[in-house]
């Protein structure tokens, strides 16, 4: 069976340039921290890749801290800023209610075990953060260590006003962080212009390999490391660097940023065709997220299907060769309504009926047509199954 892959927000296939860059390094010996010739050659690859990544996201090379991916970068940002802030009497953490669990779960852990105070700021019906409430939280006391709001949401694609958030945080002397895993490569992301102190990105959302990402951290910022050891990466992230993955990361982001203008237009067209087709052929389907194209990612479509359970829809679509998701892939296997949709005001029943279709560089019009060809019948079958079990 030929499969239709519409889960690019979970991970996207590696692009040829990244495969080539990674393959070229896999046969090379040399630890990038070693002083001999092979080590220096590996270090050269790392530093040239670091410089390229920095230039493509508006950062200085010294601000690029390589990690194992988005989850580690988010943990380093949240925990590192909290522990450093606590030394200055700042132990409150502020975030939006629709953050990825790589931010929400560290916040919960810090609150339970490290005496942190956590403020989760609500969002409107489109998933956009309540700026007035965030500003009020920042102004409530002078004890905030960090504000973290994702650049673009992984479930509904809403784009947040991170530049304004960073400015308000800076006015209060609060460190600002944004998980930009979904944004980099699809939106114009410039770290310097954003005013942010910390920014998370990862390779496998861009067409690079798993297991490599970065935290952009202002050079003058003080963070407490999560990992201790050899002192690599400004002593913020010890560990032997994965040279082939770093090289592939640079190649992937180069490709994504270079292709971005044309890709954005193409993905918007495919997404619009998909959503319009679903709404026209599936009674009771409701689109989630903002309608304005400039407030959402070009390739994510999230819809509720009245009378259905997302798990049933996923199984039926999987059997038909369609790959999509019921929300964040990092919560896969956990049967619970999306916290993002609940925060947006959807009921538990509505949130449990939602599917996310996410398009990427390998998506085609044929993929959209494949979904539209089977989804109406799939929804009917899921509704019948729900009525029998209900």
Task: Identify the CATH number of the domain defined by range 16-254.
Answer: 3.40.640.10
Count CB neighbours of 188 within 10 A: 13
Say what percent of the chain tops pLDDT 90: 94
For the residues of 4-34, what is the DSSP string, one character each? EE-BTTT--PPPHHHHHHHHHHHT----TT-
Q: What is the structure's pLDDT at 335?
A: 62
Judge whether residue 334 has pLDDT over 80. no
Q: Is the pLDDT of residue 272 over 60?
A: yes
Share of the chain above pLDDT 70, in %: 96
Q: What is the pLDDT of residues 9-28, one digit of tens each?
A: 999 999 999 999 999 999 99
Q: Give the pLDDT mean for 94-118.
A: 98
pLDDT at 210: 98
Provide the 8-state DSSP code for 62: G
Q: Is 304 a catalytic residue?
A: no
Closest of 318, 275, 310, 334 to residue 383, by C-alpha? 310
Tens digit of each residue's pLDDT (9 = 90 or more) over 291-308: 999 999 999 999 999 999
Indicate the domain borders of the chain. Answer: 4-12+260-389, 16-254
**Tokens in use for 211?**
């297991």
Fold classification of 4-12+260-389 (topology level): 3.90.1150
Instruction: Report pLDDT for 389.
Output: 56
- pTM metric for this prediction: 0.96
d(C-alpha 226, C-alpha 202), whole Å: 18
User: Which pLDDT does position 388 carry in this prediction?
Assistant: 56
| 385 pLDDT higher than 90 | no
Mean pLDDT of 254-280: 97
- pLDDT exceeds cutoff 90 at 289: yes
What pLDDT was estimated at residue 333? Answer: 53
Q: What pLDDT does residue 135 have?
A: 95
Q: pLDDT band at 328, cuts 50/70/90?
A: low
pLDDT tens column, 58-78:
999 999 999 999 999 999 999
Residue 128: is it exposed, middle or buried by C-beta count within 10 angstroms (0-12/13-18/19+)? Answer: buried
pLDDT value of residue 336:
81
Question: Residue 41 above 60 pLDDT?
Answer: yes
User: What is the token pair recorded at 234?
Assistant: 């400004």
pLDDT-derived band at 141, boundaries 50, 70, 90 = confident
* CA gap 331, 337 in Å, rounded: 10
Give 377's contacts (C-beta < 8 A, 6+ positions apart): none
pLDDT tens figures, 208-253: 999 999 999 999 999 999 999 999 999 999 999 999 999 999 999 9
């Amino acid at each position: 069976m030929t499969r239709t892959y519409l889960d690019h927000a979970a991970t996207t296939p590696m692009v040829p340039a990244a495969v080539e860059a990674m393959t070229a390094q896999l046969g090379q010996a040399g630890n990038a921290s070693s002083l001999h010739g092979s080590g220096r050659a590996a270090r050269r690859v790392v530093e040239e890749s670091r410089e390229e990544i920095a230039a493509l996201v508006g950062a200085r090379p010294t601000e690029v801290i390589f990690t194992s991916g988005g989850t580690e970068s988010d943990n380093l940002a949240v925990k590192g800023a909290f522990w450093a802030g606590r030394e200055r009497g700042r132990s409150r953490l502020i975030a939006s209610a629709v953050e990825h669990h790589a931010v929400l779960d560290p916040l919960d852990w810090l609150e339970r075990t490290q005496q942190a105070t956590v403020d989760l700021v609500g969002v409107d019906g489109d998933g956009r953060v309540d700026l007035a409430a965030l500003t009020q939280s920042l102004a409530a006391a002078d004890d905030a260590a960090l504000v973290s709001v994702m650049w673009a949401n992984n479930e509904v694609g809403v784009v947040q006003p991170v530049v304004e958030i960073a400015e308000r945080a800076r006015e209060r002397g609060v460190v600002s962080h944004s998980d930009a895993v979904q944004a980099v490569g699809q939106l114009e992301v410039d770290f310097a212009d954003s005013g942010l102190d910390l920014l998370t990105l990862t390779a496998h959302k861009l067409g690079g390999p798993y297991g490599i990402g970065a935290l952009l951290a202002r050079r003058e910022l003080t963070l407490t490391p999560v990992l201790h050891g050899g002192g690599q990466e400004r002593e913020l992230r010890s560990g032997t660097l994965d040279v082939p993955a770093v090289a592939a990361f640079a190649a992937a982001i180069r490709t994504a940023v270079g292709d971005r203008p044309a890709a954005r237009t193409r993905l918007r067209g495919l997404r619009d065709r998909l959503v319009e087709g679903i709404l026209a052929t599936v009674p009771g389907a409701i689109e989630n997220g903002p309608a304005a194209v400039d407030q959402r990612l070009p390739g994510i479509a999230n819809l509720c299907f009245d009378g259905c359970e997302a798990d049933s829809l996923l199984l039926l679509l999987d059997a038909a060769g369609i790959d999509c998701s019921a929300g964040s892939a990092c919560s896969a296997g956990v049967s619970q309504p999306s916290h993002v949709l609940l925060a947006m005001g959807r009921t538990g029943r509505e949130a449990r009926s939602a599917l996310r279709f996410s398009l990427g560089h390998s998506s085609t019009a044929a993929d959209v047509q494949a979904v539209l060809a089977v989804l109406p019948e799939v929804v009917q079958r899921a509704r019948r199954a729900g009525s029998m079990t209900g």
